[in-house]
Amino acid sequence: MTSPADETRLFECGTCGGVGIGPNRPTCCDEPMTGIETTEAAVSEPSLETLLRTVFDMSGTELDVCLCVMEGGELTVTELAEQIGYDRSVVARHLNHLAELGVVEKRRRIRPEGGHVYVYTPQPPDVVRERLRGEFLSWVRMATAQLDGLQREKVEAIADAETGERQWTVFQEQ
């Protein structure tokens, strides 16, 4: 259980609109950021699966592959495909994505009989957590920019109307 002091909070810069996430009040534009109060009723807590699907573009299959590598140690694509019953090409594609995310390490191993094979090993849980956290914060930054852009696009569309007619209508019951 986390103590209130360790709880993750949201902050916003009053000058530039930047967003901060963490247990302590960050500074931005040489000023402490303001805490943002959120209502729990507005947004439901995402499941881990929803988070991984949304932020990291992981399918259920990729999550299966990820968990299997985490439990199985060093594995090749062939070994993993046989173990979980997925096609080798599917497993290879997902392992490459997991390696890009930094969840697994991909290494080339020279085979004694000649040639090479790639082996995949899990990163330690604390490394995985930090890498996913960094990617998540990057995603939040981009999502925030999308929201800011949406507001700006609406305002610009209304202001740039050549016809003088309203660009959108609010419907009310009479």
The pLDDT tens digits of the residues spanning 14-72 come to 888 777 777 888 888 988 888 887 766 667 788 888 888 888 888 888 888 888 888 87
Identify the helix (H) or strand (E) that includes residue 51.
helix 48-56
d(CA 10, CA 73): 37
The pLDDT tens digits of the residues spanning 130-156 come to 888 888 888 888 887 787 777 666 666
Question: In order of start, what are the domains of the chain with their CATH numbers?
Answer: 1-38 (2.20.28), 62-125 (1.10.10.10)
Instruction: Report the alpha-carbon angle 50-51-54, nearest 5.
Output: 80
